[in-house]
């Protein structure tokens, strides 16, 4: 896709000064295997709307995930369980309008694929028709029939193993997974099964760093870690955690690169104080009347 340059005469003020778009070629599913072969680390963040998708792309992030984490991060749900296909589609459309160079992957929400391959293919196809270039779904061997059916429909799949948030009730909370030897071996088996099925990459979430590295070594396809240590082929973070725009205590693996919540709070407080004190708007921020309207009215009957 060709990056779109905003028409400054049409775009809102905020979009006018957007930074340079990445000139590198479009990222496709093939890019990731090549990156793994070159030992080049993969970068990924979530985005749920047009501005954050644009900013992620301007920063040359490789993979934009329209994650079902949007339910907790921007819709205020307690878990990702209530997220619907309609909500995912709404946010996916906004992300796709940014026409990112990054690969766009949409997350199949809870109950959109668990019932079987037919649901999985139908809902994945809805994402693809709306501009997603791949889908992600949580689970290993248990969802292999769904993964195979989606792939057979020519839709690329990103796997997701370890701490799978849609299983929160089975796990009894958000806990690090596969800490023991047996559970680690089972996760490795899941990972190999998904690779054999044809997934182009796999998210490894909330597992010991040693296991993250072991799975990464054992696979031809890349692993993208989140709380899975530095041994993975790449890293993904929820954007709002990374920029400090979330309200809960960040998980151990989150590194905060900015305090956007603090910046917004500060800006809003200053705005309120300026309005109250009559400092905003200034004359330079106001429109003047047209010169003729400012001059004394002429008598239309006078000759």
- Interaction site with ligand KIV (CB under 6 A): 46, 65, 67-69, 107, 160, 203, 205, 226, 236, 238
Which residue number, 21 or 44, has a Cβ lying nearer to ligand KIV? 44
Q: Are 151 and 197 in contact (CB under 8 A)?
A: yes
Q: Tell me how far apart the alpha carbons of residues 152 and 3 are, in angstroms, rounded to a whole number.
A: 30
Smallest gap, in angstroms, from Cβ of residue 203 to ligand KIV?
Answer: 5
Smallest gap, in angstroms, from Cβ of residue 103 to ligand KIV?
Answer: 14
Smallest gap, in angstroms, from Cβ of residue 243 to ligand KIV?
Answer: 14
Which residue number, 63 or 213, has a Cβ lying nearer to ligand KIV? 63
Report DSSP state, residue 277.
T
Which residue number, 65 or 215, has a Cβ lying nearer to ligand KIV? 65
Task: For the chain, give the number of residues.
Answer: 303
Two structure tokens written together for 129: 């028709």
Q: Are 70 and 48 in contact (CB under 8 A)?
A: yes
Which residue number, 60 or 79, has a Cβ lying nearer to ligand KIV? 79
**E strand or H helix at 262, and its extent?**
helix 260-276
Smallest gap, in angstroms, from Cβ of residue 92 to ligand KIV?
Answer: 12
Smallest gap, in angstroms, from Cβ of residue 19 to ligand KIV?
Answer: 24
Half-sphere exposure of 69 (CA within 13 A, CB side): 20
Burial state string for 62-74 with b = 16 or more CB within 10 A and e = fewer than 16: bbbbbbbbbbbbb
Smallest gap, in angstroms, from Cβ of residue 230 to ligand KIV?
Answer: 17
Q: Are 66 and 108 in contact (CB under 8 A)?
A: no
Which residue number, 63 or 197, has a Cβ lying nearer to ligand KIV? 63
Smallest gap, in angstroms, from Cβ of residue 205 to ligand KIV?
Answer: 6
Which residue number, 69 or 124, has a Cβ lying nearer to ligand KIV? 69
Q: Are 30 and 134 in contact (CB under 8 A)?
A: no
Q: Tell me how far apart the alpha carbons of residues 117 and 151 are, in angstroms, rounded to a whole number.
A: 11
Residue nearest to ligand KIV (CB): 67
Coil, helix or strand at residue 136: strand
CA distance from start to end of the chain? 65
Nearest to 144 by CA among 108, 109, 178, 120: 120
Neighbours of 170 (CB within 10 A): 7
Which residue number, 197 or 201, has a Cβ lying nearer to ligand KIV? 201
Smallest gap, in angstroms, from Cβ of residue 117 to ligand KIV?
Answer: 21
Q: Tell me how far apart the alpha carbons of residues 206 and 228 are, in angstroms, rounded to a whole number.
A: 5
Which residue number, 162 or 184, has a Cβ lying nearer to ligand KIV? 162
């Amino acid at each position: 896709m060709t990056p779109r340059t905003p028409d400054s005469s049409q775009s809102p003020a905020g979009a006018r000064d957007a930074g340079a778009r990445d000139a590198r070629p479009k990222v496709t599913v093939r890019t990731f295997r090549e990156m793994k072969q070159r030992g080049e680390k993969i970068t990924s963040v979530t985005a749920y709307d047009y501005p954050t998708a644009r900013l992620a792309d301007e920063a040359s992030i490789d993979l934009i995930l329209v994650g079902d984490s949007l339910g907790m991060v921007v819709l205020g749900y307690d878990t990702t369980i209530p997220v619907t296909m309609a909500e995912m589609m709404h946010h996916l459309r906004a992300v796709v309008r940014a026409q990112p160079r990054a690969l766009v992957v949409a997350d199949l929400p809870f109950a959109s694929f668990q019932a079987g391959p037919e649901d999985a293919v139908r809902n994945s196809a809805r994402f693809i028709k709306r501009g997603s270039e791949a889908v992600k779904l949580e689970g290993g061997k248990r969802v292999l029939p769904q993964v195979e059916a989606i792939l057979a429909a020519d839709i690329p799949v990103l796997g997701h193993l370890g701490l799978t948030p849609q299983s929160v009730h089975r796990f009894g909370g958000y806990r690090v997974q596969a800490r023991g030897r047996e559970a680690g071996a089972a996760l490795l088996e899941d990972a190999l099964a998904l690779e054999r099925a044809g997934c182009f990459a796999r998210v490894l979430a909330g597992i010991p760093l040693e296991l993250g590295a072991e799975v990464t070594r054992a696979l031809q396809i890349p692993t993208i870690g989140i709380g899975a240590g530095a041994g993975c082929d790449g890293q993904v973070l929820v954007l709002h955690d990374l920029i400090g725009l979330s309200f809960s205590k960040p998980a151990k693996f989150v590194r905060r690169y900015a305090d956007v919540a603090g910046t917004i709070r500060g800006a809003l407080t200053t705005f309120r104080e300026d309005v109250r004190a009559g400092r905003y708007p200034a004359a330079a921020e106001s429109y003047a009347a047209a010169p003729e309207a400012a001059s004394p009215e002429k008598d239309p009957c006078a000759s």
